[in-house]
Structure 1
């Protein structure tokens, strides 16, 4: 893959120009964007791959759900349906996508969960509901320029900060680095728990924040237990098991489990992997399966895996979270 990316380097200027021009047309108002008179918070990134958008959305849900009527709006990546879909008791990972299905399973009594590749159409449908939301969280919509979010949160990973990357196809950037100027907040995600202040200064210098921007650092906290629908297990009870992942970067999870001195075999699938019947037959042969919460949403529909399938939840820990929380609450009150 790295060789192919190097070979495709001559295409980088073309991709750069096309995405830069698209953004410029929106900036100049030639291409139409829509703003709203209620809070719309966008969580996204410049890079392809996992920067931690799902746990960040969940953090915002927990922060806001008790004070506002809240909705999440996602594209619903790899779902089998089209158009606007509002999650309900009949929804599955196939009908709304694995991440929205995860939001619905965890917060269905507190929020609305919707999907629509046309975010403006999704917002319109949500606001036409009798129990319309007061705040909408846009999941992975930083490049969806048809919507002018009232507050933009840009995520970039500690191990691959966007300032040191290239645009596709050689690098991982969906658009030029200058797109970061649209962000109100930039969060460096998946940081080591012992990140030093001196290293934060180095990273901040690389980000070159605008006067209106704020930066934060976050890390991942793993649960001390794994869960299924009706039970849980602590790590002491886990012996040999199979780790199944279909996420962009499984290394932090693997490192965490290895640090616990746990013995496991790792079946590493690509991000948003659609598990085939052949895959399920393979998983049925395993005695105990630990997976991510996102993958669990796709696998739990298989009755044959019910008694052996568990997931490990994660949460986001934000450095200086009091200031961050205040910024978010100010954004939704304006």
Structure 2
């Protein structure tokens, strides 16, 4: 029923049928001097077609066509000159007013969607700016620290305890640099869509299948990207299924790989902790665990509109 109402043809047919019925209903009620309950209910039901046309169909030519149908119907059904004044009033209340309400509703929702998209683009621009600043400042400084620590570690006159401490400093700085790159990757908005990611993985030799409707959620993209990376590392050659499912309130993304040909290789890999934190920022949860068949499954559940 919902698909019928939202199709372009159904509201048009309903409106073109409702106009002559509205004229007939108005003229018969006024001629009888009373309003039978059945005709009153019919009058209320006739409000729906005008609203649906205004809500789902763009353009006013249909309204002009409805006016022509109304005039023809009045000419055929009118019994006195007064009917020519009564019929337009009836059409104004049963067709024109609901059409304006439906049109207002459609424009209001369209404006709200544009505002959401504008806000989203503004947030994306701000993330890109922050990522660029972090890369240019912190990334450069951390790289210099790691290089200086590496040079100092090779100094021949450095005591062994100090050499080990410098080595730990260099390793920690390198880890911090990698972590910074991961964070910058999360902030930047240069991701492709899921279908492209899956195609690229298939082109690299992986056996990946995408099931469900694609999504433009960046969080979902990162979940799939990290999961495919782990599958390639820890279960090379195993089939992988990426499934996207939506409910009225949630977006569920699952990545399941089969067992690895190498014993004990089907593990969660690295990066799942940071990935779980990312999903939590979208008011979601991340479940990652081995499967009974030796494979591995990652399931992220988040808001339907999660970025």
TM-score, normalization by structure 2 = 0.22
Larger radius of gyration: 2
Higher relative contact order (CA 8 A, sep 6+): 1
More helix by share: 2
If the length of structure 1 is used for normalisation, what is the TM-score?
A: 0.21
> Higher strand share goes to which structure?
1
